[in-house]
Structure 1
Amino acid sequence: MTSAPDPTAPLAAGEGRSRDDRPLAAAAWMCGALCCFSAMAVSGREAAAELDTFELMFYRSVIGAVVVIGALIFAGKMREVRARRLGLHLGRNIAHFAGQNLWFLSVTLLPLAQVFAYEFTNPLWVAMLAPLLLGERFRWSRLGAAAIGFTGILVVAQPWQAGGAVGGFGIGQLAALGAALGFAFTVMSTKVLGRTESTASILFFMTVMQAAMGLVCAGWDGDMAFPAATLPWVVLVAFCGLGAHFCVTTALSKAPASIVSPMEFARLPMIAVVGMLMYGEPLEWSLVAGAALVLGGNFLNLRAERRRAAG
């Protein structure tokens, strides 16, 4: 959930073989990613009992910075960190910081499965905005896929309804959609940064800048809380976020994105089960039908892109 995976994650033994040879290994790593994503949603909701989203992001980013800097030093990659294109780094991290804060807010206000359904509009936002912001060629297939996906969001949100576990459109739904849009801008800016900047630089500035943003936003009123009771949940948020990216990246080293990406859609039924077991959240027909449309729009877009790449 979240931002683009870390392409510097090491390949497993057997590096150099065709990625297409190991789809089962990719599936196993994606199972790990799905568990991390679900655990991050649960731990974020539990940590919110003591912390606001800015405080949560500050502590998460500090832990992430320690881990990332330690890993870069251990791997001898700190020399790859360059203070170039700081403006684009800053813009990327503002988008990700805003998106992540909105995501943590939405998991405290909405059923977890609904949050993930909104989050899956992220690729559709990218498909629609990339021609405008990245100069990519406009394609009608992307427009059609986005239309299907956003129809699904209307089915999930049911803005014509006044209330209910799923129906209605309020601050929680706006936060979830805002998070997806923030993640879309993160993906696009990461794509631009990746043309000239190393992943070491991207990760370094991500954790350091977002820790600074969290400190400013959480401490502006002078009443910043330390997560004494929820510290284990905060640590789990940080490590699950890093673990999810590592698992996705490793999966991509075992099989191409056209195989790995659809596996990520299993996050939705998994978090729905977690929500039912842990919080008694019901599975309403509108959520199931709307989520199917969102995933269908993503699948059609992925299929069209795969055909263009093959042709």
Structure 2
Amino acid sequence: MLVKYVNAQGVALPEIMFWRQAVSLPLLLGWVFATGQTAQLRSQRRKAHAMRSVMGTIGMVTLFGAQILLPLAVATVLGFTTPLFAVILTALVLKDRVGLWRWAAVVLGFAGVLVIAQPGSAGAMHLPPLGAAAGLLTGLLVAIISLQIRDLTRTETPLSVVFYFALFSTMILAPLLPFFATAHSAQVWGIILVLGVIGTAAQMLLTAALRYGAAASVLVMDYTTLVWTTLYGWLVFDQLPPSHTWLGAPLIVAAGLVIAWREHIKLRRLQAVEQTPPA
């Protein structure tokens, strides 16, 4: 909501992204030195952090772009395609066996996307094609980034994952700042500062959730985002999603829940096997 709001006040997307990340650095460093946790920033995997930062920066472009171009609720629903892409990546990249239930969920979810986007119909005029593409690409990129984060958190602390993402992405975005930065009022600067603070806290919580919580549980909790973005879109921007969004959204959410259910069953089976004593 804050990204969409400051953009409406004339702040360009590259500048929003830069300050979103740059504000994180003093906050994280202040916390580290105040609590004496400097050891948490030690890392032997700087290259992996850099790769995650590149993907994360691209992901911010599509995520924030979708939020700016689309009603907030629509951008959120398209972002719920992450579990669908995660299933596809699991099958194609990790060579994991994907059963009928999860493939059926993928088909159901993308059917929901077609209902929302309505390609080739008059309803599609409600959704800018670039915004819809950014929303779908966000789903794919978040799936990839989630795999990167889960890999990093095997050896890295949530604090180091967030810190190095802020550091490397700020370095990536800094060269763009002279071309996009403009003068702002004190109110807009204040909102930009709040955006950075809230974004840092959210990134810490998400990273910790992916490390300590089951992926299925994290996914289910993420669906509450739709309630908040619908509310913000209505109260702040006087903007509600097109009616066909409410037809497609349940299909995407249902697909995600089916995938979460099957992942939960798979995890329980693996745990049962691991706990079975040898004969």
Structure 1 length-normalised TM: 0.76
* Map of 1:109 onto structure 2: 69
Q: Is the 8 A contact 1:93 1:186 kept in 2?
A: no
| Aligned-partner residue type, residue 211 of structure 1 | T
Q: Which structure is richer in relative contact order (CA contacts within 8 A, separation 6 or more)? A: 1
Residue 283 of structure 1: how far off its partner (Å): 4.1
Among 139, 144, 147, the alignment partner of 1:185 is 144
**What is the Cα deviation at residue 101 of structure 1?**
1.8
After superposition, the Cα gap between the structure-2 partners of 1:70 and 1:133, relative to the gap in structure 1 and judged at 3 Å, is: farther
1:152-191 per-position Cα deviation (integer Å, ceiling 9, x unaligned): 1111111122456645x51111111222222222111112
Aligned match of 1:123 in 83, 86, 95? 83
What is the Cα deviation at residue 139 of structure 1? 3.5
Contact 1:130 1:188 survives alignment (8 Å):
no
8 Å contact 2:112–2:251 — kept in the other structure?
yes
Q: Give, in angstroms, the shift of residue 201 of structure 1.
A: 2.5
Alpha-carbon shift at residue 290 of structure 1 (Å): 0.7
The corresponding residue for 2:233 is: 275
Quote the residue 1:143 is aligned against.
103
Taking the aligned partners of 2:89 and 2:106, their CA distance within structure 1 comes to: 11
Q: Deviations over 1:205-231 (max 9, x none)?
A: 111011111212333x4x533544511
Q: Which has the larger displacement, 51-60 or 132-141?
A: 132-141
Tell me the percent identity.
24
Number of aligned residue pairs: give it.
Answer: 267
Q: Distance in 1 between matches of 2:181 and 2:102?
A: 44
Shift, 1:194, TM fit = 1.9
1-side partners of 2:266 and 2:114: how far apart?
A: 29
| Worse overlay, 158-167 or 81-90 | 158-167
Q: Which structure has greater helix proportion?
A: 2
Cα deviation digits, residues 48-71 of structure 1 (max 9, x gap): 132211111111111111111222
Answer yes or no: is the 8 Å Cα contact 1:128–1:142 preserved in 2.
no
Matched, 1:86 2:46: yes
User: Would the aligned equivalents of 2:85 and 2:143 in 1 still touch at CA under 8 Å?
Assistant: yes
Using a 3 Å threshold, how does the CA distance of structure 1 residues 215 and 208 change in structure 2: closer, same or farther? Answer: same
Distance 1:71 1:127, change over 3 A: farther
Match of 2:161, as an amino acid? Answer: I
Cα deviation digits, residues 231-277 of structure 1 (max 9, x gap): 12212221222333455678899986655542321221332132123
Q: Which residue of 2 aligns with 1:211?
A: 170
The one-letter amino acid of 1:87's match is K
